[in-house]
Chains A and B, each alone.
Chain A
Amino acid sequence: MSSKSLSLRNISKRFGNVIALDNFNLEVGVGELVALLGPSGCGKTTALRVVAGLEHQDAGTVLVADKNISDVPAHKRNMGMVFQAYSLFPNLTVEENVAFGLQMRKVSKHLRLKKAHELLDLVGLDSQSKRFTHQLSGGQQQRVALARALAFEPEILLLDEPLSALDAQVRVNLREEIRRLQLSLGTTTLFVTHDQEEAMAISDRVGVMNSGVLEQIDTPDALYNKPASSFVASFVGTMNRIPAHISDGMVEIFGSKVVALKRGNENGKVHALIRPESISVVATTAQGNAKVLTRSFMGASSNIICQTSDGTIVQSLMTSASTGDLLPGSSVQLRVLSSEVLVANV
């Protein structure tokens, strides 16, 4: 196994006045797939390019298997990279593209073509090996790019939004394929995306970035259920921000009191952060505390959007079976299902 661990320690990088990475730290274990998730311009690509050696950090160190590689040039780093834009060599056939890294490593033609076919087989494109790259669809091109990045058995695989130019169905298929390949080859992988569903679906851990720093890195589950900051809470999954009042560690929402998980003000006005699935909507004949705006049927579950009497929009996710009488305009009673809620300053 050629896979190695990766560490970024106190990396800073600026472009003129723009701080792309601000004392950035990240650890990726051997064989682990970590996704970097964050809004546009938060520094995801920059972090990846620093690891690849395509950009040099102003400060900090990059370590691979605890060895400082900060001064190793890109072509000696032995890292496979897949780019957002199509990046195949148009003068080479599919198999020659995949064999390119091995050719640069002076592997004999016979061996490198054999390896290229192995990888093309893994990404399901062996039948296309003699074609030129402009004859392939976007999804196929990214598969070839993935095969090219893996063919020379890189120590680390770097993926910069490899799926963002593809349409929805292809994206989902290809992300599963990336994960399957990554698991079977055991390659340490850093995957950059701004699509949280994508990140959550295939990663061992997800790092959420915001303006050049890593806000939180955790398993998808922990990130969703125990967000460390209100930024993470709102960025990962859907989160209701409901104005509420906190006193003595209890938040009053929809007329009942719930334990506040410590964060933000101790007393006064706060926002309660509540997931849609933690809010129940029940139709009432009496005057409820909200009104249904819309109900969208999504199969097993339905999305109910309500407006409280003070004007706050609240989203709820419930099993479709219990939403039959929630017609738009009907008066309803909202209730918080969880016994604890996160709060954030207003």
Chain B
Amino acid sequence: MAKALRVRFQPPLAVTLLILGFFVFIPMVSAFEYSIRTPLTGGYGWTHYLWAIREEEFFHYIFRSGWLAGLTVLITLIVLVPTMTWLHVSKSPIRPLIDGISLLPLVIPVVAFAVGAQISFPEFVQNTVLELPFLYFVLALPYAYRSLDIGLNSIPLKTITEAARSAGANWWRTITAVIVPVIRGSVMATIALTFALSLGEYTLTVLLHWDTFPTWVTFVAQDNILGAIAISMMSLIIPFLILTVITLFVPERSMQGRK
């Protein structure tokens, strides 16, 4: 027993864990501990959490950020999956170009991007909050693109696509009934990455004068830092719940199909 549990010391792994522990885990635990302190009694309590869930705005903003992120995911999948499937199947010579373009959002400064958007976008676009999912799509593009790319590269895409087409599937059915289920893992990763990025996006949202969950949390933090910590802690749980629900809804057996 003791033998089986003995893990050999791995210096690189140890360093990674050390950095993660120091810069992520310890601050998180400390923040949590701080947020449940009750200075008057010297003990712990849920005062700030109870305050947060009694706050109407908490649910208002969680819900708003949630559907904006959901919409971003939808846009990402509807736009990227067919485009990238086509790029892969057709062995198009412009694919390296698109690969490069997909990385651009990583290097464009968000501030410049936001100002440019305000100057150039027509009034009716700037007046609707629906501009956000499209902008989030662009911000998440490098990650979404990469993770779909990995999935599409890992399967014999051309043969599978042609098999589906000759068996009578049009492009739409080929993508929905065959390709997406086959690269299910990387589609899930794309969903998770895009959702998390959209849910947490702050800079661009604030610069464009929209209120979402992250901007609200920052606003609250200005005069109730403990309340803001409590809110953030709770918002961590929500994506976790969503991912759990997704996993429950996807039947177990289709996972076995993947090698």
Contacts and interface: CB of A to CB of B under 8 A. Distances in A.
A53 B257 CA distance: 29
Q: How extensive is the interface on chain A, given as a class?
A: 20 to 34
Contacts of A152: 167-168
Interface core residue of A52, A100, A103, A158 (most chain B CB under 10 Å) = A100
Interface string B164-190: 111111100110011001101000000
B164 to A, nearest CB: 7
B168 A105 contact: yes
A91 B168 contact: no
B89 to A, nearest CB: 11
B50 interface: no
B159 A87 contact: yes
Contact of B163 (A53, A73, A87): A87
Interface in B178-205: 178, 181-182, 184
B168 A81 contact: no
B4 to A, nearest CB: 30
Nearest to B163: A87
A79 B166 contact: yes
A92 interface: yes
Given A80-B166, A90-B257, A104 B156 contact: no
B174 to A, nearest CB: 8
B153 to A, nearest CB: 15
Contact of B170 (A53, A75, A145): A75
Interface residues of B, number: 25
Dominant secondary structure at the B interface: helix
A132 interface: yes
Contact of B168 (A92, A104, A145): A104
Contact of A85 (B156, B181, B259): B156
Interface in A132-150: 132-134, 145, 148-149
Contacts of A75: 165-170, 174
B6 to A, nearest CB: 34
B163 A83 contact: yes
Interface string B148-169: 0000000110011011111111
B199 to A, nearest CB: 29
B167 A85 contact: no
A85 B162 CA distance: 11
Given A101-B167, A104-B169, A149-B167, A87 B257 contact: no
A86 B155 CA distance: 11
Contacts of A52: 162, 166
A54 B156 contact: no
Interface string A153-165: 0000010000000
B75 to A, nearest CB: 25
Contacts of B257: 90-92, 132-134
Interface in B14-59: none
B256 interface: yes
B258 interface: yes
B256 A54 contact: no
A134 B156 contact: no
A104 B166 CA distance: 11
A74 B165 contact: yes
B167 A90 contact: no
A91 B184 contact: yes
A133 B181 CA distance: 15
Nearest to A82: B163
B254 interface: yes
Given A86-B159, A152-B168, 14 more contacts: A53-B165, A85-B159, A87-B156, A87-B159, A87-B162, A90-B182, A90-B259, A91-B254, A100-B164, A100-B167, A101-B167, A105-B168, A132-B256, A158-B166
7 contacts: A54-B165, A75-B168, A75-B169, A91-B181, A91-B182, A92-B257, A100-B169
